[in-house]
Amino acid sequence: MMHSGIKKPFTEVIKANIGDAHAMGQRPITFLRQVVALCTYPNLLDSPSFPEDAKERARRILQGCGGNSLGSYTASQGINCIREDVASYIERRDGGVPADPDNIYLTTGASDGISAILKILVSGGGKSRTGVMIPIPQYPLYSAAISELDAIQVNYYLDEENCWALNVNELRRALNEAKAYCNPKVLCIINPGNPTGQVQNRKCIEDVIHFAWEEKLFLLADEVYQDNVYSEGCQFHSFKKILYEMGPEYYNNVELASFHSTSKGYMGECGYRGGYMEVINLHPEIKGQLVKLLSVRLCPPVSGQAAMDIVVNPPVPGEESYAQFIKEKESVLNNLAKKAKLTEDMFNKIPGIHCNPLQGAMYAFPRIFIPSKAIEEAKAHKMAPDMFYCMKLLEETGICVVPGSGFGQREGTYHFRMTILPPVEKLKILLEKVKDFHIKFLEKYA
């Protein structure tokens, strides 16, 4: 579609298709990079230009490394002291609910952890093929992993009319239908939602946990956007915390794996491929299989493990770097909150576009009206109508977004996913361009 040499009606391609914060100009958190640089080149531990709290973190991480070097393999599960820091972080986050470092696995980004646990949980062929329930719309890692594992994808639909809420009746419908042709064992939740940006409330999480308990489903909670919550009245609740608050019948029985990452939040360190997974009530035999699987790949990248440590163990009040850290963190998060609101408001002013509130994460997933003439033309090109729309948008404006069909959507509805990561001024221009494009598109295919 993009022919080199042919003049385009725009001067710059704006990539709003992937949650890649630094590529869109977000600055790294200084403290995190200082610690990783100190670990990388320990001569810097003698440099007066690095703060003492960063040096302390670096020394502690290096003590956890063979030969005090980031260049050594670590245990497949990750460096002990970092897993301890992750456990402490989870306890603080969840108001004191206990977390055991033995249940923490450091991973190569969250994707690696999700693929690994799915691989372990999926087994059996024929009618006993494992069913994995995923939200629609979903993040395509899930559909790709399920298909790679030859498991069965079981769709449950989020309720667009109700801010993409997760409804347990819909879970039950999907489960009961799936039981006819597979063995549903896993229920995946993305909270805050990707691409849909909803933040689940406590009642909804309780309902989901009760449902998983009742139906003996393994809960897989993708919580990588836990620091990205913007809307008034919305709050992130971890599945782990609510599970414990529901009492021992639940927390002694429901199997849960939850995921976090260095890539999102206010750090946006995608390139480090850092992450962790916490497992609850995982059968010891399954745990053994998991460790065996992970050990084939030796260990997660050690600089990513170090980055993860700083995500869960940032400067605290009283430390030298605290003031700068908090300023940088709040600047990123306040900016994202502002852009979430701006995006929602601007989209909802465009005729033929409806956008739910961006309560969390870092994407808008607006519903777009595509006229039937455009749908016909798309079909003539053998393209999904929203793919056709997104290609036209790219060709005419240089704006790159992802068609809703890449995430799944209710039949006959059309969407696209757009990140809110461009800087505010650029985002405004981008939204104006989408508006102009959309109005012209409606006119053209009226």
Residues that bind its own copies (CB under 8 A): 18, 20-26, 28, 33-34, 36-37, 40-41, 44, 47, 49, 65-67, 69-74, 108-109, 111-112, 115, 141, 144-145, 148, 267-273, 293, 296-304
Which residue from 415, 342, 357, 403 is spatially nearest to 197, judged by alpha carbons?
A: 357
We find the least distance from the C-beta atom of residue 43 to its own copies, in angstroms, to be 8
20 or 319: CB nearest its own copies: 20
235 or 295: CB nearest its own copies: 295
108 or 231: CB nearest its own copies: 108
Which residue from 315, 355, 301 is spatially nearest to 30, judged by alpha carbons?
A: 315
We find the least distance from the C-beta atom of residue 44 to its own copies, in angstroms, to be 7
CB atoms within 10 A of CB 334: 12
We find the least distance from the C-beta atom of residue 218 to its own copies, in angstroms, to be 21
Joined together, the tokens standing for residue 7 give: 């003049």
Residues 274, 300: Cα–Cα separation, whole Å: 8
Q: Which uninterrupted H or E stretch holds 257?
A: strand 256-261
Residues 178, 82: Cα–Cα separation, whole Å: 40
We find the least distance from the C-beta atom of residue 301 to its own copies, in angstroms, to be 4
We find the least distance from the C-beta atom of residue 127 to its own copies, in angstroms, to be 18
Helix ranges restricted to H, 52-140: 52-63, 80-93, 109-121
70 or 350: CB nearest its own copies: 70
Residues 163, 15: Cα–Cα separation, whole Å: 26
Query: What Å distances lie between residue 213 and 46, 123, 136, 151, 256, CA to CA?
Result: 54, 21, 22, 22, 11
Residues 141, 209: Cα–Cα separation, whole Å: 23
Residues in contact with 71: Cβ distance below 8 Å, sequence separation at least 6, in sequence order: 302
22 or 435: CB nearest its own copies: 22
Joined together, the tokens standing for residue 192 give: 């805050």
143 or 231: CB nearest its own copies: 143
Which residue from 77, 84, 91, 90 is spatially nearest to 61, judged by alpha carbons?
A: 84
We find the least distance from the C-beta atom of residue 180 to its own copies, in angstroms, to be 25
We find the least distance from the C-beta atom of residue 257 to its own copies, in angstroms, to be 18
We find the least distance from the C-beta atom of residue 390 to its own copies, in angstroms, to be 18
25 or 95: CB nearest its own copies: 25
69 or 176: CB nearest its own copies: 69
Which residue from 52, 81, 48 is spatially nearest to 315, judged by alpha carbons?
A: 52
